[in-house]
Structure 1
Amino acid sequence: MTTLEERPATTHDGAVRTLLRMRVREGCEQAFEEAWREAAAQIATVPGNVRQELLRDAADPRTFLVAADWADRAAVDGFGRSEARETLTAALRDLREDADRSTFEVLYGITGGEQASHVRVDISTKVAPGEEEAFERAYAIVTDRLRGTKGLIREELLREPDSDLYHIFAEWESDEDFRNWVEDPSHADQSGPLIRWLSVFFQRKLYEIRFRPQEAGVRGIRAAAAPPVPAPAPAPAVPAAPAAAPAPVEAPAEVPAPRAAVSEPVTAPIDLGSLPSPVPAPPAARTRAASEVLVVGAGPAGLTAGIELARRGVAVRVVDKRPEASTQADKAIGIHCRTMEIWEDQGVVTEAMDAGSWLYGQTVFVNGKRTHQVDWSGLEELPYAHLGLPQYETERILTGRLRSLGVEVERGVELTGFTQDDEGVTATLTHSSGDVEAARAAYLVGADGASSAVRAQLGLRFEGGLSMFPQLFMLGDVDVDWEMPPGHLVRWVRIEDDGDFTGMLVCVPLRGRNRYRVATLAPKRLQDTIGTGVVPPGFWKEYDPPGLADIQAAIDDLGPAGTTASNLRWSSIFRIKHGIVDRYREGRVFVAGDAAHLHPPAGGQGMNTGIQDAWNLSWKLALAVRGEASPGLLDSYDAERRPAGKAIVDRAVAIAFTDEMDMEDEKAQFLLEMQMTMNYAGSPLVGEDAGRPGARDGFDGGPEPGHRAPDVTGLRRFGVAHDLRVFDLTRGTHATLLLSADGTADTGALEELAAAVRRDTRGQVRPYLVLAPGTAVPPLVELPVLSDPDGRFRAAYGITGAGTAAYVVRPDGHVGFRARPVREDTLREHLAGVYAL
């Protein structure tokens, strides 16, 4: 055990550290180490050089980090002009593929005994402008709490000059010591003051120390040559808790982790009869006709995938290892505004509204004082508000919709393994009867929840911020006798003067007077009863449910004085580790929902995000199955949903440990939490043609490419006595081409373009012409025409002035492309990136 020196941590005035990250050519690792060792001896003679280390990425043996400490910036500048720098550059030039360099100010640190160490941990995070002093003060508090931590040798806080990026550069005796600390729930107690900064924009990398030259006070060490990295063994179908689980880390953007090659989607219709025969099955195995897509898991994400595939005529199977559907309360309850729009498209929104209850607003208390009261009503631009609906009701409604499409959930059927090849996937399904089936499908979707067998077999790594340590949550449905605004989510948090987060209580109203779902971190008494230990990602296990006294104690601790809880109908306590997998696709296998990302139970982000995963993936899979997808279409699932999922995980964790209202614009925060402003702006699948710079072309606002296409009311169509909405045009399994024109446009040319688009996409894109106010309806045959008498459509979609404009709205309701004026070549170029034209 390392004992840290019992003295105050000190700042390092003027000291700087340079970090040079290099990726070495394959097979050159040993030569690189030797070359650097020789160059380091010369660098040690440069005035102002204090310390040097060579580190290797524990997850990628070809990535090295050269760390050097300097007395001040002048010393670094002097090295940049020295012969030693030229020697280093020349020695390493032909051995590396790429490199990047950063210089940091050393701000603060703790130092232990002068011992040889084995690993360095580089934790980076961003700090918002104006919060630097508070962050550094919180770090100082945390360093005091870390004294005496087993295996921690030294730690420093670095800041990149003129940047919002900080690094915590820690040295540990071994990766086992570091990982044991991360896995211990008391980690949260030590890191409390830093929680709100270590959950968003967080990255963590673990490095092995390969070499440290002889220097004053520190003996040089030379690690033994690392053995060849063996090929990973196939993961078991069902995850098991390892003795020491590797710390999930996120690779910096500059050094992408190597990934297995991903096969392209098929570009010709699949002949199921021509699929290769399944792998030899055990003697007891049976086979059945191949499906086009096998969905594993019948939670909200899996059911959504099944519905969307079945709506498009895809032969889909949905299996679930649970013998029966849920019939009682469970973790998820809030239905976001965006999910309500999806349910309208699927035809279940009315049933959901009838079974649920509206959530009207949010009231927040910090340290017992009300700090925010937000009213969510009156947002007239939103088609639907926030609904409260228990997850078992959500699953009941979605299961009924899937059944109406001719697909029954196959229950008591567990995925116990699978293989994949260039033509499809062969899954081993074990039925509750004991029968084993070899099931063949073109694609497999793993929506099998937090303990996903699909995720385990693919070997997907979970990544995350501070949220990666395990937490114990307690939930319960109770009646309470307080007087709170009807329909309001009520939140209490406690934040100490030093910034330490020490408690949270979230209460979501349910149907019935003063009935709430209570969510809180479990008290220490229950944590001590359950104990500690390595926890893999997911809802690792559930324990004996808490009683009414436990719920009452949480309310007494954080809620209003004198409140009494009664009539406990359901409760649960479970440990969870949050995070997101490193990729959403491996060949013909995809993950969605809790199999891909895990969130705190408060806020409803997990279930709603999973539904959107399936909503995004299914229309793309259907096109691939029919051979109507562009070669890169399926790649866009990971490109779009993983960044969205990461942003949602980061934010959900951050909000769970703050005062819940971290944005000045309360409406903007609500829209963000309801995923109304979630977008795919960075996707390779979206784009625009906004005309020439400085010309009168382009858009004056309106939804940008990748953003949600807003609904608009007040459209008129001949023969229809009532107003229409944009959602009336986009509803269904197709994409929509919205063409806008006034009296100056050549509507005949637009009609020809629309006919060509409909023909070339085989009806997957439906065009409509929306005319500006006062424009006469032309006698068109091939292009449906609507009018926009009040100009609402043009205003919402940023169309001003004369001429034409176009929006392509994807089947998932996001803008895929927009153009002003309409040009056939750019429109077709976009469509070719989606469809096999």
Structure 2
Amino acid sequence: MDTPPLDGTALNGPLNGVPNDTEVLIVGAGPTGLTLACDLARHGVRALLVERAGTLFPGSRGKGLQPRTQEVFEDLGVLDRIHAGGSAYPLMMAWENGERLGTWDLIERGTPGPATPYADVWMIPQWRTQEILHARLLELGGRVAFGTALTGLEQHPDRVEAELTAADGGTRTVTAGYLVGADGGRGAVRRALGITMHGEEVDPRPALVADLRVEGLDRDNWHVWPKAPGGALLLCPMPGTAEFQLFAQLEDGAPDTSAEGVRALVAAGTHLPASAVTEVRWASDFRPRAAVAERFREGRVFLAGDAAHIHSPAGGQGLNTSVQDAYNLGWKLGRVLRAGAPESLLDSYQEERYPVAASVIDLSTGLHRAERDGSDDRRARRGKDTDQLDVGYRGGPLTAERRPGLDEEALHAGDRAPDSPYREADGTARRLFELYRGTHLTVLAVDRDLPALPAGVRGLRLDGGHAAEAYGPGLFVIRPDGYVGLATHDAAALPGYLAALGAR
């Protein structure tokens, strides 16, 4: 689980090489910050990503990538590596008194189709996801300044002044056009802004998560001891490693995260002896909590990921929602800084992502409490409700539905743009996701003439076939993050909408 080697483009220690100014300063090199940095690099935006720790996060905590996040990672050019480094979720195996009680499936399995190429959640340790994103960032010419903390910020009408402090105590003030706090629920950015989080304790019991090596268990199942003291204890084999992820809750008190404490916890909750735990690679404790920041933007500073919202781990929503925060914000910053879109486009980040965060918190909290209380319906809800393919922005500030009389189940502006196979004029087989991949706007004409488009906007006309079934007839503007912005029958509606996103 080594992180990528630090080279000339990945800074560490003193502030040598850290620029005095940047267009976007990102604080926190977790999945959120790395995704945003990759997306901005694709747009050609100068971004500096700083991380107070000396390396990438070493644990497996957020291990499930939902289908929608896999689509995001396909667009960013990392999905092949994500799939190579992970696996499908294994069946759950329950134990009692050292005896196997049988298996069941935690998730409702889906079937890939032409509109949804990824139907199931994919398991991969968080540290490996971050390694892959970090490697992609280096390929795109970006870098991370490790061992560099934000210790102060001051906003001005046209810039943000950020004080950075290195591990050796050296400081530097960096000027940025915008700053994004992706530094977690206890991060420095939200505290510096004075933005509070409102929420609740999901479960009063403390929890522990750890990566460890265990002898005496097969790696074909996710093992569960439902009657362990304090609540169920789980050991999940991490794909591509020799490790298991441990999750356990205690009745009370602070969990002992030392190696001996973890061994004792496993021995108390399973039929395995403490000696079966041969190595503890990483451990952390927490109390399940759900909270959301009162706002996601203050002037030129934005909050994303856990800095904006905190979830119960149930349902695997936290990391996925965080990645999609970055994906939503990245193209908007790119269009403002590179395409000449009005700065007011950035107001839509709060308006679009806040309702999503609130909805996801309700879902994950409900799943956690259903599990805690032994509800029988908890398994079926891990499928369509959690895959995030239905997350969208109907009624949002960038949504313009201009086709009257649509059924509620039909594709609307604000919805995720489905994938679809098609053939080019020469017969070459393609997918719409290939057409959408990148930082551009796309106009899809389905059973309609394709009008002339501004420079930098891609266009495609498709008649009949699967696209006609998935989209219906009309003209569709597809945003860089893969959502339908405008849906209309009237080509005259296109220029004004495209101009508002910087395409003229």
TM-score by length of 1: 0.53
User: In the alignment, does 2:48 pair up with 1:317?
Assistant: yes
Q: What residue is the counterpart of 1:550 in the other structure? A: 265
Which string of whole-angstrom CA distances, capped at 9 and with x for unpartnered residues, describes residues 596-636 of structure 1? 12223454322222111111101001112236224531111
Shift of 1:315: 0.9
Q: Which amino acid aligns with 1:554?
A: G
Q: What residue is the counterpart of 1:267 in the other structure? A: none
- How far, CA to CA, are the matches of 1:591 and 1:379 in structure 2? 35
- The counterpart of 2:398, out of the listed 685, 693, 703, is 685
Decide which moves more: 369-378 or 542-551: 369-378
Q: What residue is the counterpart of 1:616 in the other structure? A: 328
Secondary structure (helix, strand or coil) at the match of 2:245 reads strand
Q: What residue is the counterpart of 2:304 in the other structure? A: 592
> Quick check: 1:303–1:399 contact (8 Å CA) kept in 2?
yes
Q: What residue is the counterpart of 1:280 in the other structure? A: none
Equivalent residues in 2 for 1:19-38 (5 A)? none
Secondary structure (helix, strand or coil) at the match of 1:350 reads helix
Equivalent residues in 2 for 1:267-306 (5 A)? 288-306=19-37
Q: What residue is the counterpart of 1:785 in the other structure? A: none
Secondary structure (helix, strand or coil) at the match of 1:427 reads strand
Shift of 1:325: 2.8
- How far, CA to CA, are the matches of 2:208 and 2:362 in structure 1? 18
Equivalent residues in 2 for 1:204-243 (5 A)? none
Q: What residue is the counterpart of 1:405 in the other structure? A: 140
Shift of 1:548: 1.5
Shift of 1:574: 1.7
Equivalent residues in 2 for 1:331-342 (5 A)? 331-342=61-72
Q: What residue is the counterpart of 2:78 in the other structure? A: 348
Q: What residue is the counterpart of 2:197 in the other structure? A: 462
Secondary structure (helix, strand or coil) at the match of 1:634 reads helix
Q: Which amino acid aligns with 2:309?
A: H
Which string of whole-angstrom CA distances, capped at 9 and with x for unpartnered residues, describes residues 468-493 of structure 1? 96844343434364679x3x555665
User: In the alignment, does 2:421 pair up with 1:729?
Assistant: no
Q: Which amino acid aligns with 2:22?
A: S
- The counterpart of 2:424, out of the listed 707, 717, 721, is 717
User: In the alignment, does 2:294 pair up with 1:582?
Assistant: yes
Shift of 1:429: 0.9
**Bigger relative CO (Cα 8 Å, ≥ 6 apart):** 2
Which string of whole-angstrom CA distances, capped at 9 and with x for unpartnered residues, describes residues 527-552 of structure 1? 1688xxxxxxxxxxx77773212123
Which string of whole-angstrom CA distances, capped at 9 and with x for unpartnered residues, describes residues 658-689 of structure 1? 23897969666413222222222242221311
- The counterpart of 2:111, out of the listed 373, 379, 383, is 379
Shift of 1:402: 0.7
- How far, CA to CA, are the matches of 1:665 and 1:492 in structure 2? 17
Q: What residue is the counterpart of 2:444 in the other structure? A: 738
Secondary structure (helix, strand or coil) at the match of 1:415 reads strand
- How far, CA to CA, are the matches of 1:375 and 1:673 in structure 2? 9
Distance 1:569 1:315, change over 3 A: same
Q: What residue is the counterpart of 1:656 in the other structure? A: 368
Q: Which amino acid aligns with 2:303?
A: V
User: In the alignment, does 2:483 pair up with 1:814?
Assistant: yes
Equivalent residues in 2 for 1:700-711 (5 A)? 701-711=409-419
- How far, CA to CA, are the matches of 2:80 and 2:178 in structure 1? 32
- How far, CA to CA, are the matches of 2:381 and 2:315 in structure 1? 16
Pairs aligned (count): 483
Which string of whole-angstrom CA distances, capped at 9 and with x for unpartnered residues, describes residues 276-316 of structure 1? xxxxxxxx999944211111111111111111001001011
| Structure 2: gaps spanning 5 or more residues | 1-14
Q: What residue is the counterpart of 1:511 in the other structure? A: 239
- How far, CA to CA, are the matches of 2:222 and 2:174 in structure 1? 45
Q: Which amino acid aligns with 1:301?
A: T
Which string of whole-angstrom CA distances, capped at 9 and with x for unpartnered residues, describes residues 107-142 of structure 1? xxxxxxxxxxxxxxxxxxxxxxxxxxxxxxxxxxxx
- How far, CA to CA, are the matches of 1:636 and 1:307 in structure 2? 21
Which string of whole-angstrom CA distances, capped at 9 and with x for unpartnered residues, describes residues 423-448 of structure 1? 01110111223321110011001111
- How far, CA to CA, are the matches of 2:33 and 2:179 in structure 1? 11
Q: Which amino acid aligns with 2:34?
A: L
User: In the alignment, does 2:356 pair up with 1:644?
Assistant: yes
Distance 1:771 1:489, change over 3 A: farther
Q: What residue is the counterpart of 1:628 in the other structure? A: 340
Q: What residue is the counterpart of 1:450 in the other structure? A: 185
Distance 1:565 1:416, change over 3 A: same
> Quick check: 2:441–2:458 contact (8 Å CA) kept in 1?
yes
Equivalent residues in 2 for 1:65-80 (5 A)? none
Distance 1:678 1:479, change over 3 A: farther
- How far, CA to CA, are the matches of 1:363 and 1:389 in structure 2? 19
Secondary structure (helix, strand or coil) at the match of 1:817 reads strand
Shift of 1:341: 1.2
Q: Which amino acid aligns with 2:399?
A: V
Distance 1:736 1:569, change over 3 A: same
Shift of 1:462: 1.0
> Quick check: 2:91–2:105 contact (8 Å CA) kept in 1?
yes
> Quick check: 2:311–2:317 contact (8 Å CA) kept in 1?
yes
> Quick check: 2:205–2:251 contact (8 Å CA) kept in 1?
no
> Quick check: 1:361–1:376 contact (8 Å CA) kept in 2?
no
Which string of whole-angstrom CA distances, capped at 9 and with x for unpartnered residues, describes residues 352-399 of structure 1? 222222225567899x98795356555122323422221221111111
Q: What residue is the counterpart of 2:281 in the other structure? A: 570
Q: Which amino acid aligns with 1:383?
A: P
Q: Percent identity?
A: 32
Q: What residue is the counterpart of 1:92 in the other structure? A: none
Q: What residue is the counterpart of 2:462 in the other structure? A: 770
TM-score by length of 2: 0.84
- How far, CA to CA, are the matches of 1:663 and 1:706 in structure 2? 33
Secondary structure (helix, strand or coil) at the match of 1:657 reads helix
Equivalent residues in 2 for 1:8-157 (5 A)? none
Q: Which amino acid aligns with 1:673?
A: T
- How far, CA to CA, are the matches of 1:517 and 1:685 in structure 2? 41
- How far, CA to CA, are the matches of 1:683 and 1:492 in structure 2? 44
Shift of 1:701: 4.2
Q: Which amino acid aligns with 1:575?
A: F
Shift of 1:467: 2.7
CA radius of gyration, larger in: 1
> Quick check: 2:402–2:487 contact (8 Å CA) kept in 1?
yes
Q: What residue is the counterpart of 1:521 in the other structure? A: 249
- How far, CA to CA, are the matches of 2:186 and 2:223 in structure 1? 30
- How far, CA to CA, are the matches of 2:94 and 2:501 in structure 1? 44
- How far, CA to CA, are the matches of 1:545 and 1:456 in structure 2? 35
> Quick check: 2:91–2:103 contact (8 Å CA) kept in 1?
no
> Quick check: 1:364–1:373 contact (8 Å CA) kept in 2?
no
Secondary structure (helix, strand or coil) at the match of 2:137 reads helix
Distance 1:667 1:702, change over 3 A: farther
- How far, CA to CA, are the matches of 1:460 and 1:508 in structure 2? 36
Which string of whole-angstrom CA distances, capped at 9 and with x for unpartnered residues, describes residues 173-223 of structure 1? xxxxxxxxxxxxxxxxxxxxxxxxxxxxxxxxxxxxxxxxxxxxxxxxxxx
Shift of 1:811: 1.0
